[in-house]
Amino acid sequence: MAHAYTPGLKVTEGTTIEKKRRLPLEGEVLVETGAAVKAEDIVAKADLPGNVQLLNVANLLSVPPEEIAEYMLKPVGETVSEDEIIATTKGLFGLFKSQAHSPISGTIESMSDVTGQVILREPPIPVELKAYTDGTVTETIPKEGVTVETYGTYIQGIFGVGGETLGDLVIAVNSSSKELTEEQILPEHKDRILVGGALVTTDAIQKAIQLGVQGIIAGGIDDADLRQLLGYELGVAITGSEELGITLVITEGFGSIEMAERTFALLKAREGMKTSINGATQIRAGVVRPEIVIPFVSEDEDTTADALVGMLEIGSPVRVIREPHFGKLGRVTELPIELQQLETEAEVRVLQVEFEDGEKITLPRANVETIEKR
């Protein structure tokens, strides 16, 4: 039997979630399989090599490169302090000495009798990997990381900026169609994750950063506001490494777009709960979606069978991802088998969608994405 598929976002009330937590280089895993962890727990750590500084000792001392070893006061591997003298000439009767001072605190990594350069390395940079979400460690990968499993609400967004963060969920607006403005952001929202409705403004984001809000979830954001916030035009590279002081997860798209009612209702039902979010997004090959993870204990964990993600059928909830109906939600009412001709004279497979207001239109199947629900 043939099936039709289209890209989709997950909006799941309760499901088993697995998060792989890996170090950027080999290190030490701090937990064992079966251990219960909190989102803020450190599960692995490593040391990134420090930055390298070059010091041309031969030039500073005015000696041939092959002779610098004779004038070094400390050997390779020895630690040095910033501005410490690491090489010196004998001078004339103890006077008129030439000296080489270390520009950093660190270690002497190597010296070259060809170039006369001494390589100094700054102290290692510690990297600590947190669990990201409350759960149980189901797998440990020696020297690399762990897999954390939890049960909870899982929602994917359209776009995000900023990395992983954590906080209690607060609904800042009373409707999915309301904008999140700076007046609605209060001092008591420090360390919280706020939920807006149709749009979040630049002023609101700036105030949230000042007050120490951890993250904002909203339906839409203006691209001009995003450009102003970042200070540059965002390209197609992966996001998530921005150092804004806050993480944003946009669930619907650019502009003022009402948050899907199911998404808003689901978040509202989870108000006050510990929530993990990640704004990392990649829209090219190897798609990465921003996400919202809200773990909770369920007596009936994962009783529903996993649906085939992205499969289109009559009744499937979908979101339109092309103009002129961009962002509108509806359900599939027809899936004609025959190819239909567009205005461009291209022949494609189409579907009929009924929007929430009752309007029905026919669209190319490539113009929608499914919304996975459980």
234 and 171 part of one domain: yes
**CA-CA distance, 224 to 158, in Å (whole number)?**
17
95 and 155 part of one domain: no
pTM above 0.85, yes or no: no
List the structure tokens of 4.
């039709």
> Which structural domain, as residue segments, surrounds residue 117?
52-121
Q: Which helix (H) or strand (E) holds 203?
A: helix 202-211
Give residue-wise pLDDT tens across range 31-47.
Answer: 999 999 999 999 999 99
142 and 233 part of one domain: yes
Task: Identify which of 226, 227, 175, 211 has the alpha carbon closest to the alpha carbon of residue 196.
Answer: 175
- Percent of the chain past pLDDT 90, that is, above it, reads 60
236 and 366 part of one domain: no
Question: Is the link from the previous residue into 324 a cis peptide, with omega within 30 of 0?
Answer: yes
As for how many domains the chain has, the answer is 3
Give residue-wise pLDDT tens across range 320-353.
Answer: 877 788 778 888 998 888 888 877 777 888 888 9
> What pLDDT does 302 receive?
45
pLDDT-based confidence at residue 307 (cuts at 50, 70, 90): very low
Please check whether residue 318 lies inside any domain of the structure: yes
Which of residues 246, 264, 295 is at a domain's end? Answer: 295
Pairing of strands 99-101, 85-88: antiparallel
Average of per-residue pLDDT across 182-205 = 94
**If 0-12 CB within 10 Å is exposed, 13-18 middle and 19+ buried, where does residue 134 land?**
buried
Task: Identify which of 147, 146, 168, 133 has the alpha carbon closest to the alpha carbon of residue 40.
Answer: 133
The helix-helix angle for 202-211 and 223-230 (nearest 10°) equals 40
Please check whether residue 237 lies inside any domain of the structure: yes
Which of residues 121, 142, 175 is at a domain's end? Answer: 121
18 and 155 part of one domain: yes
R_g (Cα) of the chain, nearest Å: 28
Which of residues 265, 295, 325 is at a domain's end? Answer: 295
Please check whether residue 302 lies inside any domain of the structure: no
| Entry field: residues in the chain | 374
**CA-CA distance, 306 to 104, in Å (whole number)?**
56
29 and 176 part of one domain: yes
